[in-house]
Homo-oligomer: A and B are copies of this chain.
Amino acid sequence: MSELLSPDQLEAALRAMGARLYHDQHPFHKLLHSGRLDRGQVQAWALNRFEYQRCIPLKDAAILARMEDPALRRIWRQRIIDHDGSHDGEGGIARWLHLTDALGLDREMVTSGRALLPGTRFAVHAYIEFVRDRSLLEAIASSLTELFAPTIISHRMAGMLAHYDFISKEALAYFDYRLTEAPRDSAFALDYVKQHADTVEKQQQVLAALHFKCGVLWSQLDALHFAYVEPGVRWPDAFDPATQGGAV
């Protein structure tokens, strides 16, 4: 890309990248949504994905800490409020723990992170480092995977409820909330990016930020699929569905 795109062309380029690289294209998600995973594999997904959920407010706080404009901060802080809630047991992180509880996972094992796959941890932390190190524009652009979230969430909820008798609608409450939160958040971030990426260089940075973030999500599923589906080679200290335990 060497010519300046119009804001709408930039949006189209971002959406085309998502169509190609968003993790709804990953075979693990197809297995998850179509009921072809067993309970242990769904547990492994929920346990590892908790690391991502746990770090979302840390990531958003790192972005917030770089926003000079109070008006911008007022909007962005809502993401932290959504995930942390107003008291114990509220918010997106707590709702994710309802899911891991419903799946029968030991709460301490989940929250301690001791049974995680290394690849999960590295991908999630790369995301936090990215928003700390790069420009504010790139940090905001890296959130744009949320543009593609509502579709995958709808598929996931319908598919998981239809196929897994160990999953209830209550256990999936996290996703219910995300169906309204994600479009609001991504609409703001997309507008910001379209308005502020006003040079070729900034547009390239924005596209690279989305590329990076697609890799963060994709490689988490690589790690899960490799360890729990095929070939099923597991880091020795990772969650073991047979014993329901991990490293001590």
Q: How many copies of this chain?
A: 2
CA A17 – CA B236 in complex, angstroms?
A: 11
A27 in contact with B122 (CB, 8 Å): no
A223 in contact with B231 (CB, 8 Å): no
* Tier of interface size on chain A: 20 to 34
Q: Does A38 contact B (CB under 8 A)?
A: no
Most chain B CB inside 10 Å of its own CB: which residue of A26, A125, A219: A219
Q: Does A233 contact B (CB under 8 A)?
A: yes
Q: Which residues of A approach B to under 8 Å, CB–CB?
A: 20-21, 25-27, 117-119, 121-123, 125-126, 129, 211, 215-216, 218-219, 222-223, 225-227, 229-231, 233, 235-237
CA A42 – CA B222 in complex, angstroms?
A: 20
* Seed contacts A25-B236, A222-B226; 20 additional CB < 8 Å A-B pairs: A21-B235, A21-B236, A21-B237, A26-B233, A118-B218, A118-B219, A118-B222, A119-B119, A119-B223, A121-B126, A122-B123, A122-B125, A122-B215, A126-B126, A218-B235, A222-B227, A225-B231, A229-B231, A230-B231, A231-B231
